Amino acid sequence: MTSKPVPCGPCKQGKINTEADIWCNTCDEGLCSTCASHHKRIKSSGDHKTIDIQTYTSYKPPTVLIKTECDAHSQQLNLYCPSHLMPCCDECISTSHSKCTGITSLAIVVEKTKIDKSKESVEKDISSITHFLDKLVNSKSENINRGEKQYESIKNSVSKIRNEINKHLDNLEEKLCKEADTVWSQEKSKLTSFITEIEDKTKQLKEMQDDLKTVTKHTSKLQSFLGVHLIEQKVHQCQRYVEEIEDSVRDSEVSIKIKQNVEIEKILKELQLITSFGEVMVVKAEMSLKRQSSVRREAQMELQEQSNIENMTINIETPIDINIIGSIRNIICLMDGRVIICIGDGDVYLFTSEGKLEKEIHISGAVKSVSQIDLDNIAFAFNSYIKLFNMKKETVTKFIKLNKACFDLSFFNNSLAVSLNYDEIRIIDMEGNTLKSIQIESKSCLRHIVYCKDRVIYSDQGSKTVSCVNESGKQIWQRDLSGPNGLCVDTYGNIFVADTSSQSGGIIAISKDGKDSKTLIREEDIGFWPGLICFDKNKKSSGFICELSRKRFTRFNLSHD
């Protein structure tokens, strides 16, 4: 860092020039032996992390440059914008973040942040991406080997046919071999280039992984936070790279095959009619590679390009009667395909993916709503509090107190949207801290909400509308319906509403921008009035529709013709 003597900070404040003997990472200053002794005896600084000054001066920082000043304005980073997840200076707030809500002190955020947990999360993300890319490289390498064999097989096939017929077929053989050679060369080149691209990305991840191991060594908590935060941003870029691969056809298997002419046997007698042995084709098959992704990463994925709801159709399976007492309040489909149903009196039941009752989940209190946090953890909403519940251990792991009556929950981006009374949707973190408060004008209690990306959709039975607002509370769109009830959203951002009106009720799809809508199914098609709807997180285009009073539900399958 520097070869110059490090002065003692407290002594320097007293205008005494004393050389430091130790360095305090927490205070970010040097201390002489006398000041260090006082430093340790003071209660507020007794647990500070210190190192000897030789270690400090000889330490080499990681390749990631950790700055505590704003690059744009050369001012101290002292504030934090939760909307953009970034530290800011005073000038940044006034110029670029004036409309952002929830601006808070960076020192408070750093103090509340558990650096080790953040570092561990980034480490897991790096490992997950690296593991996926390694599998992808292996798969593409195997693809090249298979392609080489397929390529040789085509040549042998052509050669065998040529040996059975006369000299006229020599020209056709040469033509087809050239075609196969050209096609495979192109595909092989694409595969090889893709592997090189992935290996470069893996190399970057390895460098980030190495940096992550040293970014918190001998640095202040602020520097550690900023270092981990910077690496995390780069990791997110790699995540988006992988997600783009998953959403594209680049991870498809490539095969080359010959479509042999079925008339070959006949044409052996009529050689002059032959113009081609066949056509060399590239066959792309979907790979079975599945990347293990955290809920957080899954939640941060960009919604796919908006689909045309006019092409949607929905098919219904045979309804299943639920042999339990009480009306249904809420339903969600878990990540493992099973279904949780909350009953009006507070009971909670777990069903298999086929709709068979598996067991009752015992959790004290009258449950109003439920939302899945990750594979093992569920959030249950009660009248004025939330319980986080571990499904494996069947125990409550956290209790979050609220100051208003709670009606519904929706999890996204490692945060919970909580509907409170008639007038507020509150975004909280998993510790219960308020991140945003969205003020709503509703004529009925907010029983159904969906939190997705930077917006919240809610149904208002009182005004017979479904509305979409951003995180600042500004209305993006509003649609009039007859009796809007349960909501859910697909991977394209389209909203699906269970409308219980006797006039025009059914399942209604609304486009992401709110401009288009379509009734997909009516009461007479399904056999009951749909009150709730949810998507299967695994099958994406499949889910469950539920009746409220007579306690029936059925699986549906959505298609885009």
Per-residue pLDDT band for 297 (boundaries 50, 70, 90) equals very low
Closest CA to 69 of 94, 87, 93, 44: 87
When the pLDDT of each residue in the chain is averaged and rounded to a whole number, the result is 83
Neighbours of 232 (CB within 10 A): 20
pLDDT greater than 90 at residue 94: no
**Assigned superfamily of 309-560:** TolB, C-terminal domain (2.120.10.30)
558 exposed, middle or buried (CB, 10 Å; 0-12, 13-18, 19+)?
Answer: buried
Per-residue pLDDT band for 492 (boundaries 50, 70, 90) equals confident
Q: Residue 155 corresponds to which tokens in the numbers above?
A: 């040549």
- Cα 209 to chain center, whole Å? 21
Per-residue pLDDT band for 547 (boundaries 50, 70, 90) equals confident
- Higher pLDDT, residue 281 or 478: 478
DSSP 393: T
Three-class secondary structure of residue 425 per DSSP: strand
**N- to C-terminal Cα distance for the chain?**
63
Q: What is the pLDDT of residues 169-190, one digit of tens each?
A: 677 778 888 888 888 898 888 8
- Cα 509 to chain center, whole Å? 23
CA distance 230 to 237: 11
What is the reported pLDDT for 99?
Answer: 74
DSSP 171: H
Cβ neighbors of 497 (< 8 A, separation 6 or more) are 459, 466, 481, 484, 485, 486, 487, 507, 508, 509, 510, 533
Q: For 522-544, what is the mean pLDDT?
A: 82
54 exposed, middle or buried (CB, 10 Å; 0-12, 13-18, 19+)?
Answer: exposed
Class of domain 9-58: alpha beta
- Higher pLDDT, residue 331 or 335: 331
Three-class secondary structure of residue 112 per DSSP: helix
Per-residue pLDDT band for 301 (boundaries 50, 70, 90) equals very low
Boundaries of every domain in the chain: 9-58, 142-246, 309-560
CA distance 333 to 179: 50
pTM comes to 0.48
Q: What are phi and psi of 256, to 5 degrees?
A: -120, 130
Neighbours of 291 (CB within 10 A): 18
DSSP 152: H
What is the reported pLDDT for 187?
Answer: 86
pLDDT greater than 90 at residue 221: no
The residue with tokens 């190399």 is 203
Bridge-based pairing state of the strands 278-285 and 506-510: unpaired
Residue 472 host element (H or E): none
Per-residue pLDDT band for 400 (boundaries 50, 70, 90) equals very high
Q: Residue 14 corresponds to which tokens in the numbers above?
A: 């007293």
